[in-house]
Amino acid sequence: MKLKMKWLLLTMVITITTVLTGCEPLLVLDPKGPQAKTQADDIMLSIWLMLGIVIVVLAILVFVLLKYRASKQPKDYEPPHIEGSPIVEAICIGIPIIIVIFLSIVSVKSNYEVEATPAGYEDQEPLVIYASSSNWKWHFSYPEENIETVNYLYIPEDRAIEFKLYSYGPITSFWIPQLGGQKYAMSDMVTTLHLAADQPGEFMGRNANFSGAGFAENTFEVTAMSPKEYMEWVEEVHATASPLTEEKFEELLEPGHLGRSTYTGTHLEFAPPPEHNHGSTDTDAEEDVDSEHHEEHETQDHSNH
């Protein structure tokens, strides 16, 4: 019986080792951009911290079990009365408080980092891409290049990307695990997500929020390429793709799954995004303020007349 148990345990260990060896690394722990690197570092920091806590707690448990295990004392033996220790109580309460404060500081700091333009890209103009979802597709509008793609995304490496997210249906979540964290896309507002790819490659993107029957296949492909290859792709699209018409866009919005498709022009001309822009850049905010001042002056002039 013991021999069978040993062989069973050995078989389990070998099987688990073999399966884990064949697994690909977790995408969130295989970052390909500065935003994802910040988040992956936070995840690993939390894992190592929790592992240290578990090891310490298990060591204390073993110590207590050995020190206070049953002994050969007489049945009428009464252990001495021990008062509570202020030092032990301070350690039990103080260390968790310190851990929470430490993780809070790390989380707040990293949140500000991932919500801003990626580090190292502050001096360059970001590529603005409007990413909108519908049941169950992703539409990517490139105003700078006057191109629109469906279910795939081409981006240049080593350039900041500013995504403007919104939805033509239920709330979805835009997520490219190897480039950064997810952010919601809603029908009544535009949210801004800053990402960058610091190396070429192909990455998986998806909707990370349940949005109906076709949610599981609500995915898209991301390809980061050199600036030269990116411009060659833009020129090829303008030379070969069909224009996106309002009728065609209405057809694309119909519920269902589609493959990849490419068009010249964008739907922003006849189907603009929501006016409310959450997370806009400082430049956008300054333009809004200037327009408000302009409207105030116009109102004052009219009232004076």
Question: Which of these, 127, 152, 147, lies nearest to 240 by C-alpha position?
Answer: 147
Domain identity same for 92 and 159: no
Domain identity same for 97 and 177: no
- pLDDT in the model for residue 2: 58
Domain identity same for 242 and 275: yes
Domain identity same for 164 and 93: no
Domain identity same for 134 and 274: yes
Q: Looking at the domain assignment, is residue 4 inside a domain? A: no
Domain identity same for 110 and 186: no
Number of domains in the chain: 2
- pLDDT in the model for residue 201: 95
- pLDDT in the model for residue 24: 56
- pLDDT in the model for residue 211: 86
- pLDDT in the model for residue 19: 54
- pLDDT in the model for residue 73: 78
Distance set, CA 41 to CA 79, 104, 240 (Å): 49, 15, 43
Q: What is the pLDDT of residues 16-50, one digit of tens each?
A: 666 555 555 688 889 999 999 999 999 999 999 99
Domain identity same for 135 and 270: yes
Q: What is the spatial distance between Cα 285 and Cα 283, in angstroms, rounded to a whole number?
A: 5
Domain identity same for 60 and 194: no
Distance set, CA 147 to CA 2, 140, 233, 237, 266 (Å): 68, 8, 11, 8, 6
- What's the distance, CA 230 to chain centroid? 24
Residue 231 above 90 pLDDT?
A: yes
- Could you tell me which residues are beta bridge partners of residue 221? 152, 204
Q: Looking at the domain assignment, is residue 289 inside a domain? A: no
- pLDDT in the model for residue 3: 61
Domain identity same for 251 and 136: yes
Indicate the average pLDDT of the chain.
Answer: 86
Q: Looking at the domain assignment, is residue 22 inside a domain? A: no
Instruction: Specify the CATH number for the domain of residue 191.
Output: 2.60.40.420
**What integer is the mean pLDDT of 193-212?**
93
Sequence-ordered alpha helix ranges (H) in the chain: 2-22, 34-67, 86-115, 227-240, 246-252, 282-304
Grade residue 88 by pLDDT with cuts at 50, 70 and 90.
Answer: confident
Domain identity same for 169 and 93: no
Q: Residue 265 belongs to what domain range?
A: 127-280
Residue 299 above 50 pLDDT?
A: no
- pLDDT in the model for residue 294: 41
190 sits in which H/E element? strand 190-195
- The last residue of one of the domains, among 115, 136, 154, is 115
pTM greater than 0.75: yes
Q: Looking at the domain assignment, is residue 164 inside a domain? A: yes
Q: What is the pLDDT of residues 276-293, one digit of tens each?
A: 777 655 444 344 434 433
Domain identity same for 35 and 161: no
Q: Looking at the domain assignment, is residue 37 inside a domain? A: yes
At 144, list the tokens. 């700078």
Q: Looking at the domain assignment, is residue 104 inside a domain? A: yes
Q: Looking at the domain assignment, is residue 21 inside a domain? A: no
Q: What is the pLDDT of residues 235-270, one digit of tens each?
A: 999 999 999 999 999 999 999 988 999 999 999 999
Q: Looking at the domain assignment, is residue 201 inside a domain? A: yes
Q: What is the pLDDT of residues 166-182, one digit of tens each?
A: 999 899 999 999 999 99
Domain identity same for 111 and 189: no
